[in-house]
A and B are shown apart, each in its own frame.
Chain A
Amino acid sequence: MDFLRPATWEEALAAKAERPGAVPLLGGTDVMVEINLDARRPAALLDLTAVPGLNAWEHAADGRLRVGAGVTYARLIAELGDVLPGLAQAARTVGSPQIRNRGTVAGNLGAASPAGDSHPPLLAGDAVVEAESAARGTRMIPACAFYLGVKRSALAPDELIRAFWAAPASGPQYFSKVGTRNAMVIAVCSFAIALHPRERRVGTGVGSAAPTPRRAQEAERFLAGELDWTGGAPLDARVAARFGELAARAAAPIDDVRGTADYRRHAIAVMARRTLTWAYDDYRKKAAECA
C-alpha cells in the first residue's frame, strides 16, 4: 500500500488522475474502520488533510457558503450552526465527540451511505457538491443528483470533492433521526425539512429509508401550496398529517437488523409531521415579530 500525501490541491488531483484506485482520506472515520477490520486493502491512500485551504469555509460572492471538504462536523456545529442549522443538527447526531472532531460532510458524501446523516439536510437545503478532476476541471453536482445507489455516487473515479455549497438558511430548518439510543448510532431512518419563505418553497430529505437519500417531492409540492406563508394561521393538523403521509410514500425502505420497512415508513411520517410543526412554529413566531 502507498501513502500519498499531496501538499497542494493540484497535486491531489494529479494523484487521483494517475491512480483512480487511490482511496481519498479525510477524517478516516469510514476508511480506517474498513482497513482496521481488513474489509478493504486499497493500493494507495490519498490523504487530503495536508492540502492547505481544504479545511476553510467562506462566503462566496453569490451569497452562498462554500464549505471546504476538510471542515469537520465539530467545526461546522461551532462555526456554521446559525447559518446552516439543519445540517448542524444532523452533525450533532453523528457518532461521538471524537468522531465529530475528525469526520466531515465530504467524507459522508464520499461514502454515500443511505444512512449518512448529512444527506437529508443537504437535500432539503439544495446543497451543491463541488467536484473536480485534473482532466475536466470543476463540476457542480446538485445534492439531488449526487446519490446514485447504495454507496454509489455521481463522482467519477478521477474526481475529488473540494467543497459543498449551500445558501444560508432563509427560514427554519430541522433534522430528526431515529436511533436505538441517543448517541453513537447509525440512523434507523431520518428526515430533514427546510422552509424557503422567499420562494414559498419547501425542501425535504429522507434518510436511511431507500437505496439512496432522496427528497419527498410530492410532499414538498403539496406543502408549498397548503402552507399559510403569511404565518397568520396555526398549522392545520390535516395538512401536517397529509405531509407526513406523502413523505412516507417517498420512502422505499427495506427490512433489516435496525428496523422493519413498515416501522421506517411510519417513523418517516411522524418525523415529517414533527419537524414541520417545529419549523412552522418558528416561522409564525418570526412572522409575528416582524408584523
Chain B
Amino acid sequence: MRVNLTVNGRREAVDGVWEGESLLYVLRERVGLPGAKNACEQGECGSCTVYLDGMPVCACLVAAGQAEGREVRTIEGLADGDRLDPVQRAFLDRGAVQCGFCTPGLIVQAHDLLSRVPDPTDAEIREALAGNLCRCTGYEKIIEAVRLAVARGAGPA
C-alpha cells in the first residue's frame, strides 16, 4: 500500500508498504532516515522514539498506515542544518554518548520534556526517560546532559 506522511517537514509518498509494517521500518528502510534505532521492536527500549503529531511515541509500535496524513519528526529533524539542537549539544558536551545507539531516542524524549517542562526536577527527568534503555552510560551522564540543556535555557524549539 501507499502511505502519505510528512517527515521533518517534507511530504513523502511511500509505496510498497506492507500492511503490518511499522512506522519505524518505513522511516529507516524506505525514507532513508536511520536515526531512530531498531532494537527490541516491542516498545521496551525507546531507541525508536520519534514525534508523531508532536507526541513522542515508539515508532516500532505505530502501524505505518496509522501515520497516513500525519506529521513525523525524527532525530534528523531536530538540528537546524549544522546547528545542533541544545539537547543534542548538551549530550555531546557532557559525554552522555558512548556507543550512541540509545542517543536518538533519549534526545527526542528529553527534547519533548524540556518543551513542556522548562525546569524539570531530577524525578521528572528520570520519569520522562524511564522508557529509554541505555546499555553503556549508567544514565548519570545522560541526566547531567539534560540538566545542562536546562541550564543553557533549552526551551521549546
- The residues of A with any CB-CB pair to B shorter than 8 Å are 1-3, 5, 25, 27-29, 31-33, 35-37, 41, 44-45, 47, 49-50, 74, 95-99, 101-102, 182-184
- Chain A residues with Cβ below 8 Å from B62 are 28, 32, 102
Which of A1, A2, A102 contacts B57 (CB under 8 A)? A102
Contact status B65-A98, CB under 8 Å: no
Segment at the interface with A among B39-47, B89-97, B139-147:
B39-47
Q: How distant is A227 from chain B, measured CB to nearest CB, in Å?
A: 34
Question: CB distance B1 to A3 under 8 Å?
Answer: yes
User: CB distance B46 to A98 under 8 Å?
Assistant: yes
Residues on the B chain within 8 Å of A45, using CB: 19-20, 63, 65
B61 at the interface (CB under 8 A from A): yes
B128 close to A (CB within 8 Å):
yes
Whether the Cβ atoms of A99 and B43 lie closer than 8 Å is: yes
Q: How far is the CB of B14 from chain A (nearest CB, A)?
A: 13
Partner of B130, one of A5, A29, A35, A182: A182
CA distance A98 to B133 in the complex (A): 13
| Interface range on chain B (Cβ under 8 Å from partner) | 20 to 34
Task: Look across to chain A and name the residue whose beta carbon is closest to the beta carbon of B24.
Answer: A36
- Contact (A29, B61) CB under 8 Å given A1-B18, A182-B130: yes
CB-nearest residue of chain A to B1: A3
Q: Which residues of B contact A31 (CB under 8 A)?
A: 63
Q: Residue B15 at the A interface, CB < 8 A?
A: no
In the complex the two chains form, what is the Cα distance from A31 to B43 in whole Å? 11
Please count the residue pairs between chain A and chain B whose beta carbons lie under 8 angstroms apart in the complex.
92
A183 / chain B contacts, CB cutoff of 8 Å: 127, 130-131
B22 at the interface (CB under 8 A from A): yes
Q: Which residues on A sit within 8 Å (CB–CB) of B131?
A: 95-99, 183-184
CB neighbours of B128 from chain A (8 A): 97
Instruction: Tell me if B68 counts as interface (CB < 8 A to partner A).
Output: yes
Verify B20–A49 contact, CB threshold 8 A.
no
Residue B104 at the chain A interface, CB threshold 8 Å: no
Q: Check A37–B65 contact: CB distance below 8 A.
A: no
A239 to B131, CA, bound (A): 39
CB within 8 Å for A47 and B65 given contacts A1-B19, A35-B20, A97-B128: yes
Which of B41, B44, B63 contacts A28 (CB under 8 A)? B63
Contact A33 B65 (CB under 8 A): no
Q: Does B55 contact A (CB under 8 A)?
A: yes
Q: How far is the CB of B47 from the nearest CB of chain A, in Å? A: 11
Which B-chain residue is minimally distant from A26 (CB atoms)?
A: B66
B63 adjacent to A98 (CB under 8 Å) = no
Contact A97 to B19, CB < 8 A, known contacts A32-B62, A102-B58, A102-B61: no
Cβ-closest chain B residue relative to A92: B127
CB contacts (< 8 Å) of A95 on chain B: these are: 43, 131
Q: Are B58 and A2 in contact (CB under 8 A)?
A: no
Q: What chain A residues lie within 8 Å of B127 (beta carbons)? A: 97, 183
When the two chains form their complex, are residues A99 and B58 in contact, meaning their CB atoms are under 8 A apart? yes
The 7 residue pairs across chains A and B that have the minimum distance between CB atoms: A96-B131, A183-B130, A36-B41, A3-B19, A1-B19, A32-B61, A3-B65
Chain B residues with CB under 8 Å of A37's CB are: 41-42
